[in-house]
């Protein structure tokens, strides 16, 4: 490592530790000018690739779908509201001539709807699956199956969808990306209370706990699907100005507004990670095109037993087998 790269690494780590300005648009602007900043994906590098993006009607999901479309991917916008999805497709098509887009209806928090979608409407082959759909309800809310909504939407639904899509992902060197949140750094994983039944409910805490669970299960999920040639990653966007932030955290948006990243800046690492070649190894958390520590404090650290209990709970809610059998007719490569 030369002097410029050593200096760049020091600045990058300082930005990561200080959070602000690291998570703001200032952090991305500084990092992208440092020595060693990873190159952009090659133009048209996603041609003939199929990408699924959940929650793609606004914010980070819309920006991710558009970014992948610009690289030539055939993008499925997996959304709850087909009318909004169709309007987003028109917007993207106007900005990206020749974009290949399709709207698929699915409520990721509804496990039965996930099963219906995969059985009836999902494509036969998938190269990139991006779990971006998110919500922060102001009160404790339950999914149709009775699960606390943030855990259903951010953990149970994505795991089930990926598991059911294994035949479509297998043998394609596919990538699965969970879009998480830097807010998870403030919470430890609550394997003792995954449904948030204890104590006074806080929407920001529930959201962060579910995002912490995503990150803690990365290694488990990556190992579970590695025999299919699938790698699992997580990205956090920093502080981005999205409709969700405006609705759920209006004071935060008011205070930090001038420093917030655009949705495109927040989605940068997700698009990069979905398309860069060669594919990075899985099981890691990424931010601004670099793998990051999953903990900034010892108080949030998770032991192996805790992680196993959380995975057992997830597996039981989804009625998944303990061991993974390779999909028929598919081979990992």
Report the alpha-carbon distance of residue 167 to residue 327 in Å, rounded. 5
Residue 47 within a domain:
yes
Instruction: For residues 48 and 97, state if they share a domain.
Output: yes
Task: Show the tokens assigned to 281.
Answer: 């190894």
Write out the chain's pLDDT in tens, 333 residues.
Answer: 788 888 899 999 888 888 888 999 999 999 999 999 999 999 999 999 999 999 999 999 999 999 999 999 999 999 999 999 999 999 999 999 999 999 999 999 999 999 999 999 999 999 999 999 999 999 999 999 999 999 999 999 999 999 999 999 999 999 999 999 999 999 999 999 999 999 999 999 999 999 999 999 999 999 999 999 999 999 999 999 887 777 777 877 777 778 899 999 999 999 999 999 999 999 999 999 999 999 988 999 999 999 999 999 999 999 999 877 766 544 332
- Compute the distance between CA of residue 201 and CA of residue 61 in angstroms, rounded to an integer: 27
Active-site hit among 23, 117, 196, 207: 207
Q: What is the CATH number of the domain that holds 200?
A: 3.40.50.720
Asked if the structure places residue 332 within a domain, the reply is no
Inside any domain, residue 328: no
Indicate whether 262 and 278 sit together in one domain.
yes
Specify the pLDDT at position 331: 37
Residues 161 and 256 reside in one and the same domain:
yes
For 26, the domain range is 1-37
Q: Are residues 152 and 168 in the same domain?
A: yes
218/192 same-domain check = yes
Classify residue 330: in a domain, yes or no. Answer: no
> Do 21 and 105 reside in the same domain of the chain?
no
The question of whether 207 is a catalytic residue gets the answer yes
Query: For the chain, how many structural domains are there in total?
Result: 2
Pair 92, 228 in one domain = yes
Beta strands 284-287 and 231-235 are: parallel
Do 128 and 273 lie in one domain? The reply is yes
Strand 74-79 and strand 50-54: pairing?
parallel
pTM metric for this prediction = 0.94
């Amino acid at each position: 490592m030369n002097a410029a790269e050593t200096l760049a690494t020091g600045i990058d780590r300082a930005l990561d530790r200080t959070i602000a300005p690291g998570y703001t648009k200032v952090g991305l602007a500084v990092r992208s000018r440092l020595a060693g900043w990873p190159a952009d994906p090659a133009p048209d590098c996603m041609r003939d690739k199929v990408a699924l993006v959940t929650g793609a009607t606004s914010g980070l999901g819309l920006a991710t779908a558009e970014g992948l479309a610009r690289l030539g991917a055939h993008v499925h916008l997996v959304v709850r509201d087909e009318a909004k999805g169709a309007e987003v497709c028109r917007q993207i098509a106007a900005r990206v001539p020749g974009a290949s887009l399709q709207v698929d209806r699915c409520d990721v928090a509804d496990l039965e709807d996930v099963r219906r979608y995969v059985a009836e409407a999902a494509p036969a082959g998938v190269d990139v699956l991006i779990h971006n759909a998110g919500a922060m309800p102001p009160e404790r809310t339950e999914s149709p199956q009775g699960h606390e909504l943030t855990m259903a939407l951010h953990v149970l639904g994505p795991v089930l969808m990926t598991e059911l899509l294994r035949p479509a992902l297998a043998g394609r060197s596919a990538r699965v990306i969970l879009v998480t949140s830097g807010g998870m750094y403030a919470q430890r994983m609550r394997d003792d209370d995954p449904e948030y039944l204890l104590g006074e409910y806080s929407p920001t805490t529930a959201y962060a706990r579910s995002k912490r669970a995503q990150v803690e299960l990365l290694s488990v999920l990556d190992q579970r699907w590695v025999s299919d040639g699938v790698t699992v990653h997580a990205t956090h966007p920093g502080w981005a100005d999205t409709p969700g932030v405006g609705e759920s955290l209006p004071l935060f948006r008011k205070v930090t507004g001038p420093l917030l990243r655009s949705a495109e800046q927040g989605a940068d690492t997700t698009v990069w990670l979905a398309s860069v070649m060669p594919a990075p190894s899985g099981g890691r958390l990424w931010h601004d095109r670099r793998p990051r520590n999953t903990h900034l404090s010892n108080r949030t650290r998770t032991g192996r037993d805790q992680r196993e209990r959380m995975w057992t709970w997830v597996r039981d809610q989804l009625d998944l087998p303990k061991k993974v059998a390779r999909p028929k007719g598919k081979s990992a490569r």
